[in-house]
Structure formats: structure tokens, C-alpha cells
Amino acid sequence: MFELLPLRFRPIAKGRTWTPNLLRGAFGSTLKKLDEQAYVQFFTPTAELLHLDPAAHVSPSGLRNLPRPFVFRVRETEIGMNLFLPSALDLVCRVMRDLDLELLTPPEPLRLSLVTPAGLEGSRRVRIRFLTPTELKGTDTPEFGPLIARVRDRISTLRALYGSGPLDLDFRGFGERAAEVRMTLCDLRTVNDARVSKGTGQRHSLGGFVGLAEYEGAVAEFIPYLEAARWTGVGRQTVWGKGEIDMEVLSA
């Protein structure tokens, strides 16, 4: 099971337009003013801060930089936030109110099963759309093996840090089976974009690939993980909206 709170906010003032970069700065600075300790824990979490044991392998890519417990979904008329730490709900709403954003509907927990749904056990083909720029560590194209490995690792790390604990899963076997699924269609384009931090002067990539890919093979066991990835994102800088995907089962 993977749990989250999908939140949706609307600008109170008409005519205000948010971009991921504007929201990044405004949310962080407002949170820091309201509660500096919460800012460190919520906005810049580190292994040292959370007193994590490296031997626990909470984050497969290393414990230095940890995923934040939320991702943004910036739309033309509303701001979405998928929150993986329900206890932070009141804090998030305080920050959003200070940014003149109002909560649209009462938050309802979303509980996603990581078991293949009935009727899809024999699925052989899936299509994945990369809706926002996506970067996968170690590869320039979304071959199924590396893609599902990044999905698996992110879900497990988020559960370990903010939920019910890391996945109870044979990671190696899971990865080996995923590597046998082949990509049959790859229709992607590259988005080149970047931002420069006002605080550090560092340049950060906001780009990646967008488009779609289709895969064929024994994909059934991976379908619920891809469904969860619709909410978590996959790859680098997912917190700001990169790596948003959609998934469609093409045959069962």
C-alpha cells in the first residue's frame, strides 16, 4: 500500500499566475518565515537531520539528499500538491493561505494498492506518457528496466521516510524481471530549460524529455507501481513537477 493526500489549491486573487519556479521560491521563503525548524525538516531534509543509519539503505542513491514529502502540480488555474506526510497538512495550509491560495476541497487520503488489479494479471503492453520534462539517472532514454527501478526506489524511500516503511520486496528479482520488458515505441523530444539559484548562483536543469513510450512483455506486476508513480513522479526534481507521467494499459 502507498498512501498520500492529494491537495488542490486555487489563487484567491484573480489574474495571479504561478510557475513552478515562482512557487518554489515563494513556498520555501514563506515556510521559513513561519517555522524555520519545519523548513529544515520539510523543505531541505537530510540524512544527518533525520539521524538515519546509512546501513538501512533508505535511499538507494545515497542518504545525503532525501526526497521532500510532497510534489507540486502547477496548472493554469490551480496548484496541486501531493503530500506524502499527512501530519504536515496544517503547516502546508498555513503556507498556502499566506500565498493567497485556498484549499479547494477537504483532503481525502488516497490509498494505492501495490498489487496488480484483478483482470490485469495477463497484461502485456503499456503506454507511458511523460507529461513534464523527465530526467532518469544513468540513462537518456526510458528503457523499462531503469525506469521501473527509479519508480520502485522512489516509492520505497518515500514509504520509509514518511509512511509505513520501505517496500518488502525482492529488489534484485523485481529489477531483473523489469529488464526483460522491451520498449517497442519511443516518441520523445528534449526540453532544454534551467534556473539559476539566487542564493547560491548555481545553475539547475529544469529540462528533460517529454513524449511517450510503449512497452511489451510481462508488465502486469509493474502496473500498480506505475500507477503510484503518477502521483509521486519519477526521476530528478520531481518535487517541482518534473517527471510527471501517465500510464495506459494497452492489452490485458
Distance CA 79, CA 95 (A): 13
pLDDT tens-digit series, residues 198-221: 555 556 667 789 999 999 999 999
The domain boundary residue, chosen from 110, 136, 152: 110
Same domain, 95 and 196: no
83 neighbors 4 (Cβ within 8 angstroms)? yes
Q: Given a cut of 90, is residue 71 above it in pLDDT? A: yes
* pLDDT of 51 over the 90 cut: no
Residue 10 CB burial class (10 angstroms; 0-12, 13-18, ≥19) = middle
Q: Residues 116, 221: contact at Cβ < 8 Å?
A: yes
Amino acid at 249: V
Please state the rounded mean pLDDT for residues 91-104. 94
The whole domain housing 11 covers 2-110
Q: What is the pLDDT of residue 219?
A: 94
CA dist 73 to 6, 58, 133, 145, Å? 10, 25, 13, 26
Q: Where are the beta strands (DSSP E) in the chain?
A: 2-11, 70-74, 79-83, 101-103, 110-112, 125-134, 182-191, 194-196, 203-205, 208-216, 245-251
Residues 145 and 34 reside in one and the same domain: no
Neighbours of 238 (CB within 10 A): 24
Pair 153, 233: CB distance under 8 Å: no
| CATH code of the domain covering residue 192 | 3.30.70.1900
pLDDT digits (tens, 9 = 90+) for 176-200: 999 999 999 999 998 887 665 555 5
Same domain for 163 and 192, yes or no, is yes
Look up cell 493554469; give the residue.
Answer: 76
Pairing mode, if any, of strands 2-11 and 101-103? antiparallel
Per-residue model confidence (pLDDT) at position 202: 59
The answer on 104 and 139 residing in a single domain is no
* Same structural domain, 144 and 170: yes
Last residue of one domain, picked from the residues 59, 79, 110 = 110
Q: What is the band of 247 on the pLDDT scale with cuts at 50, 70, 90?
A: very high
Domain boundary among 110, 137, 152: 110
Q: Are residues 163 and 197 in the same domain?
A: yes
Tally of domains within the chain? 2
Whether residues 237 and 207 share a domain: the answer is yes
Whether the pLDDT of residue 235 is over 60: the answer is yes
Residues 235, 126 within the same domain: yes
Helix residue ranges per DSSP H, the chain:
20-34, 36-43, 89-98, 144-162, 171-179, 223-232
pLDDT in tens, 103-143: 998 889 999 999 998 889 889 999 999 999 999 988 888 99
Average pLDDT, the chain: 87
